[in-house]
Structure 1
Amino acid sequence: MKNRFDLIIFDWDGTLIDSVDWIVYCIQQAAIRHHCRVPDVQAAKDIIGLSIEKAITQLFPDIDDSLREKIVADYAQTFFSKDISRADLFPGVYEMLQQFKVNGYQLAIATGKKSRGLAQAVVATELADLFAATRSSDQAESKPNPLMINQIISELGVDKQRVLMVGDSVHDLQMAMNAGIAAIGVTCGAHSAEILQHYQPLMCLSYPTDLLEFL
């Protein structure tokens, strides 16, 4: 696959940063505090990648708007109570992204996070200067809608056939399918290779850093 792509779009949580267990914990704690049925670990993982509003609606379909807003706020308060740093990235991710940029790739992020949260995260992990474009769930439709990808492609002026999406969830790979671009799954986050294979990725890797062997 060398020289096949010019732009690599990464998901954030569970793909570049080891945050899935923390997300699950924050969701479960919000459910407990608001006396809702606590989702099991896999159910909580299954919504990672969606906007938080869409995620909470999917997890708790029978609650009213007022309670949904309270759970969203509670989740956010807990999630942002934890400081992050470059050490929270999966091992080797910082060096991998540096190498890809040196090799001439454009890099981008498409995430279910809010833009403010993403901006804080990329600064905290010392990655802010590496990405040519980012899109968050408050700037476009939530995954798996392809708008995030389409906006990034339009902004950077890249041929769609030269774009690769890398993500750990079915929402990432479904978004790539909907956008008509190639994708690679990583199994360090929300979903297993067996599940990700249903969305026809080029391959599934254990960690994003395994990309260095192929690109």
Structure 2
Amino acid sequence: MSQYRAVIFDWDGTLVDSLDHITASLAAAAEDCGMPRRADHELRDIIGLGLAEALERLWPGITPSRMAALRQAYGHHFFSAVATPYSTFDGVSELLQGLSEARPALAVATGKSRAGLDRALIATGLSDYFRVTRCADETRSKPHPLMLDEILQELSIAPNEALMIGDTVYDLEMAARIGMPSIGVTWGVHDAAALVAHNPVRIVDHVSELKTFLAVNVRRFNPHVEDAVDE
């Protein structure tokens, strides 16, 4: 029998190829605000955290006024780019379509802001796929598991009935903290060597591998029947 009643996705670096745009926006914001320059790999490494937590990690001891200025500058550069990229990785649209037909509950747990995710959901045309979404500015940032707890509560399911899929150690640590199985994907921020430390059930290198795994390991979501089976 299929195992997972819900599949929870990270956004940036897992479904959407937005990493270069995020790092460029962070670098431009830092320059605008006169902050010390950070290397691209340092900027990339914090993707997945909430913005406040990311900025604190990049510039430890940052003052509240500098934090506010950086957040405003980042938002300006991210949202006002002439061509803000919202391209999904190859195969993602087909993956989500297939899952929608199998009908597990689909959700998003992201370090993006609510405004950022809502805009991205519309721009990518993916909004109809997801039953529940949680963002870092309306709950706790990864790797704290509160956003996963809230998703589980909304769906009325247990951690072992859901699967977290993400490209960062923050995604996998968040899931591990509450005993939720996870899959690490290597086309985003962190490589397999980093992801394996949090004991994912699988690490995949291509969307096609993820599609194959989920095809035989998800089950129809029925909130009214505790042990629902496929019809």
TM-score (norm 2): 0.88
- Partners of 2:107 and 2:93 lie apart in 1 by 14
Offset, 1:106: 1.1
1:167-199, Cα deviation, whole Å (9 max, x unpaired): 001111110111210000111111111111111
The reply on whether 1:56 has 2:55 as its aligned counterpart is: yes
For the pair 1:142 / 2:168, whether they are aligned, the reply is no
Give the equivalent residue in structure 1 for 2:35.
Answer: 36
The match for 2:104 is 105
Displacement after TM superposition at 1:85 (Å): 6.8
1:114 maps to a residue whose letter is S
Following the alignment from structure 1 to structure 2, what is the Cα–Cα distance between the partners of residues 43 and 146? Answer: 24
Distance 1:207 1:166 in 2: 13
AA of the residue aligned to 1:170: V
Name whichever of 122-131 and 34-43 sits farther off.
Answer: 34-43
Q: Tell me how far apart the structure 2 counterparts of residues 102 and 85 of structure 1 sit (CA, whole Å).
A: 27
Aligned 8 A contact 1:170 1:195 in 2: yes
Aligned length: 213
Structure-1 residue corresponding to 2:175: 176
% identity of equivalent residues: 38
8 Å contact from structure 1 (residues 16, 208) kept in 2: no
The root-mean-square deviation of aligned C-alpha atoms, in Å, is 1.5
SS at match of 1:177: helix
- C-alpha contact (below 8 Å) 2:185/2:206 kept by paired residues: yes
Contact 1:84–1:121 (CA<8 Å) still a contact in 2? no
CA distance in 2, matches of 1:47, 1:27: 11
- List alignment gaps of at least 5 residues for structure 1: none
Letter in 2 for 1:186: V
Alignment of 1:1-215 (within 5 A): 3-82=2-81, 83-84=83-84, 88-215=87-214
Gaps of 5+ in 2: 215-231
DSSP-derived class of the 2:143 partner: coil
Structure label with greater radius of gyration:
2
